[in-house]
Amino acid sequence: MTFVVWRNKLIQNRAISAGLKTKMSKEQENGTTQRSSLHGHWSSRFAFILAVTGSAVGLGNIWKFPYIAGQNGGGAFVLVYLVCVAVIGLPVMMSEILIGRRGRRNPIATMALLGEEEGSSGQWKWLGALGVVAGILILSYYSVIGGWTLAYIPKSISGAFTGASAADVEAIYAGFTGSWVSVTIAHTIFMAITVIVVARGVERGLERAVRVMVPALLVLMLVLLGYAATSGSFAEGINFMFTPNFDALTWDGVLQAMGQAFFTLSLGMGAIMAYGAYLPEETSITVASGSVVIADTIIAVLAGLVIFPLVFANGLDPAEGPGLVFVTLPLAFGQMGGGVFFGTVFFILLSFAAWTSALGLVEPGVAWVVERFGRSRTQAATMVGGTIWALGLGSVLSFNGLAEFTFLRGTIYQNVEYLTSNVMLPLGGLLIAIFAAWVMCRNSTSEELRGVGTSYKFWRFLTRYVAPAAILLVFLQAVGLID
Ligand code: PFF
């Protein structure tokens, strides 16, 4: 899914020097607004929905959502997260797609082009630049956790979890993450695979393989749900997730719920804008965005419904943090029939999910180096990937050698995670909403959203007032500027 985008971008980058400038100036002469992408379009709406879902569904749904929900007391956090997905995530996703489709360029070029075309300024390109930096920083730790999922594949195959107790599984997790050598090796392998694919391209076969990944992941989550429902403390898990206890939620928790809504939907950093550039004119942005948001939310909620019953049944701590999934699920696999098989398949699928999201995270940086410095894709992928790898060592060491080295929000990993999800992505989202609903004129946006019917009015209201106000309010509350 992400591969389609990648391949298209490769073609785009090659074509840029050859034809883009001429094409742009012709468009400007003609004053046309309906551009065609230099590198084709998605074959169907379904292909687009799959592609965006592939980017959205990743570690954020299965690893991050349950652990930050656990750390923020469950129910109230989940409720705020769902509200943020609906009133901020959905309109911002529609905005990113419509901006992408209108510009039909990479995010930086699109922002510069539309900024000028809408009578504002080409300086909107800095919004694209914010996305490039956010992608690099996110991938620096995402790759470390992606490495953990890779490392858990051989662990599952070898039967390391079979019959293991909660204490055994926790010991395996602590032993693995406590060794900076093991985690560095896993991080290096994850990053290397990402760089090689970004540098060399992907065959059609892989693209097809990824097309089955999201449905397969969904089926496996349902199998696990069946297991958790029968052998976990299901009622307690449901209660934890759906009974809002607002005493347990701070304004910082609300900010984290909002950050998670951006993170899980891959919003606020131009990734979805890039996908929108290949969307055919006739496809409904509203329907496509709604489908992705629903699919992504279902997978995250399912992950919570699987994990929390297991947490309570085994006397684990829901606020345990990043290790939550790496402890609860192996425990379940170790006790269920066919656990070696299901465990192995699960971690393979999760690695795939992480990897397809990782390609989307690194691509803006690679595209920028290719265009800005005239490097080949291989050179650009190596340079950007190498930088991300080196930055990632800070996150590797946050779980072992430098675990005691804390400042501001905690370890290096905790700071990078907080800064990107809770500051950079919401800031990017705020600016995207402002651009789509205040800078772009009604004619432009209604053309992309097919007229000015109820859904358009609803989108414009949410994007113009609700989303910016909500983002600002949560920001200001969280930093303590207002009570
Ligand atoms: N949405 C991905 C996840 O939930 O794991 C993370 C992500 C991917 C964020 C791509 C941003 C992005 F551009």
Which mutation among 264, 297, 301, 388 tests ligand 1's pocket best, with the greatest number of atoms within 8 A of CB? 264
58 lines ligand 1 (CB under 6 A): yes
pLDDT score recorded for residue 377:
85
Residue range 67-98, pLDDT digits in tens: 999 999 999 999 999 999 999 999 999 999 99
pLDDT, the chain, mean: 88
Could you please report the per-residue DSSP string of 401-461? TTTT--BTTBSHHHHHHHIIIIIIHHHHHHHHHHIIIIIS-HHHHHHHTTSSSHHHHHHHH
Ligand 1 nearest atom to the CA of residue 263, by list position: 9
Residue range 116-151, pLDDT digits in tens: 999 999 999 999 999 999 999 999 999 999 999 999
Read off the pLDDT band of 5 (50, 70, 90): very low
Place of tokens 């879902």: 53
Query: Is the Cβ–Cβ distance between 360 and 2 less than 8 Å?
Result: yes
Please say if the pLDDT value at position 152 is more than 60.
yes
Query: Is the Cβ–Cβ distance between 80 and 254 less than 8 Å?
Result: yes
What's the whole-number mean pLDDT along residues 275-289?
Answer: 89
217 lines ligand 1 (CB under 6 A): no
Give Cα 483 to chain centroid, integer Å.
31
Please say if the pLDDT value at position 28 is more than 50.
no
Rounded to 10 degrees, what is the CA torsion of 116, 441, 361, 39? -70
Name which residue leads in pLDDT, 282 or 156: 156
356 lines ligand 1 (CB under 6 A): no
Residue range 361-415, pLDDT digits in tens: 988 888 888 878 989 889 999 999 999 999 999 999 999 999 999 999 999 999 9
Ligand 1 nearest atom to the CA of residue 131, by list position: 13
54 lines ligand 1 (CB under 6 A): no
Q: How far apart are CA 441 and CA 292, in angstroms?
A: 26
pLDDT score recorded for residue 414:
96
Three-class secondary structure of residue 482 per DSSP:
coil
pLDDT score recorded for residue 52:
85
- If you measure from the C-alpha of residue 311 to the centroid of ligand 1, how many angstroms do you get, rounded to a whole number? 25
- Closest Cα to atom 7 of ligand 1: 266
Residue 320: closest CA among 182, 180, 169: 169
Q: How far apart are CA 48 and CA 280, in angstroms?
A: 9
Please say if the pLDDT value at position 9 is more than 60.
no
Query: Is the Cβ–Cβ distance between 108 and 128 less than 8 Å?
Result: yes
Please say if the pLDDT value at position 2 is more than 80.
no
269 lines ligand 1 (CB under 6 A): yes
- If you measure from the C-alpha of residue 261 to the centroid of ligand 1, how many angstroms do you get, rounded to a whole number? 10
Read off the pLDDT band of 201 (50, 70, 90): low
- If you measure from the C-alpha of residue 260 to the centroid of ligand 1, how many angstroms do you get, rounded to a whole number? 10
Burial category of 408 from C-beta neighbours within 10 Å (exposed 0-12, middle 13-18, buried 19 and up): exposed
Q: How far apart are CA 92 and CA 432, in angstroms?
A: 7
Q: How far apart are CA 85 and CA 398, in angstroms?
A: 30
Please say if the pLDDT value at position 16 is more than 80.
no
Cα 281–Cα 96–Cα 41 angle in degrees, nearest 5 = 35
pLDDT score recorded for residue 186:
98
Longest pairwise C-alpha distance within the chain:
70
Burial category of 29 from C-beta neighbours within 10 Å (exposed 0-12, middle 13-18, buried 19 and up): exposed
Q: How far apart are CA 358 and CA 363, in angstroms?
A: 9
- Angle in degrees, 0-180, between the axes of helices 234-242 and 213-231, rounded to the nearest 10: 120
* 6-20, 273-287, 449-463: least confident range: 6-20
Three-class secondary structure of residue 15 per DSSP:
helix
pLDDT score recorded for residue 64:
97
Q: How far apart are CA 264 and CA 243, in angstroms?
A: 22
- If you measure from the C-alpha of residue 314 to the centroid of ligand 1, how many angstroms do you get, rounded to a whole number? 30
61 lines ligand 1 (CB under 6 A): yes
Q: How do the residues of the chain divide into helix, strand and coil, expressed in percent and rounded to 5?
A: 80, 0, 20
Q: How far apart are CA 94 and CA 273, in angstroms?
A: 9
Q: How far apart are CA 22 and CA 28, in angstroms?
A: 10
Residue range 235-258, pLDDT digits in tens: 999 999 999 999 989 999 999 999
Please say if the pLDDT value at position 10 is more than 60.
no
- If you measure from the C-alpha of residue 139 to the centroid of ligand 1, how many angstroms do you get, rounded to a whole number? 9
Residue 136: closest CA among 462, 444, 424, 437: 424
146 lines ligand 1 (CB under 6 A): no
pLDDT score recorded for residue 287:
93
Residue 395: closest CA among 255, 169, 191, 194: 191
- If you measure from the C-alpha of residue 338 to the centroid of ligand 1, how many angstroms do you get, rounded to a whole number? 31
- CATH numbers and ranges of domains, the chain: 1-36 (no CATH), 43-478 (1.10.4160)
Whole-angstrom CA distances from 80 to 63, 178, 253 are: 19, 34, 9
Structure tokens at 228: 């958790």
Residue 42: closest CA among 313, 280, 239, 270: 280
Read off the pLDDT band of 63 (50, 70, 90): very high
Whole-angstrom CA distances from 413 to 138, 180, 268, 313, 408 are: 10, 14, 20, 30, 11
pLDDT over 70 percentage in the chain? 89
φ and ψ at 409, to 5 degrees? -90, 0
Rounded to 10 degrees, what is the CA torsion of 249, 255, 256, 259? 150
- Closest Cα to atom 9 of ligand 1: 266
pLDDT score recorded for residue 19:
37
55 lines ligand 1 (CB under 6 A): yes
Read off the pLDDT band of 14 (50, 70, 90): very low
Ligand 1 nearest atom to the CA of residue 357, by list position: 8
Place of tokens 């504002």: 120
- If you measure from the C-alpha of residue 233 to the centroid of ligand 1, how many angstroms do you get, rounded to a whole number? 30
Which mutation among 64, 106, 138, 273 tests ligand 1's pocket best, with the greatest number of atoms within 8 A of CB? 138
Read off the pLDDT band of 37 (50, 70, 90): low
Q: Per DSSP, what are the bridge partners of residue 407?
A: 410
pLDDT score recorded for residue 472:
95
Read off the pLDDT band of 27 (50, 70, 90): very low
- If you measure from the C-alpha of residue 59 to the centroid of ligand 1, how many angstroms do you get, rounded to a whole number? 8
DSSP 8-class letter at 124: G
pLDDT score recorded for residue 244:
94
What's the whole-number mean pLDDT along residues 266-284?
Answer: 89
Residue 410: closest CA among 141, 205, 168: 141
Which mutation among 63, 149, 357, 388 tests ligand 1's pocket best, with the greatest number of atoms within 8 A of CB? 357
274 lines ligand 1 (CB under 6 A): no
- If you measure from the C-alpha of residue 60 to the centroid of ligand 1, how many angstroms do you get, rounded to a whole number? 7
- Closest Cα to atom 12 of ligand 1: 266
415 lines ligand 1 (CB under 6 A): no
Residue range 172-195, pLDDT digits in tens: 999 999 999 999 999 999 999 999
What's the whole-number mean pLDDT along residues 263-274?
Answer: 93
Ligand 1 nearest atom to the CA of residue 63, by list position: 5
Ligand 1 nearest atom to the CA of residue 354, by list position: 5
CB-hemisphere CA count at 13 Å for 103? Answer: 32
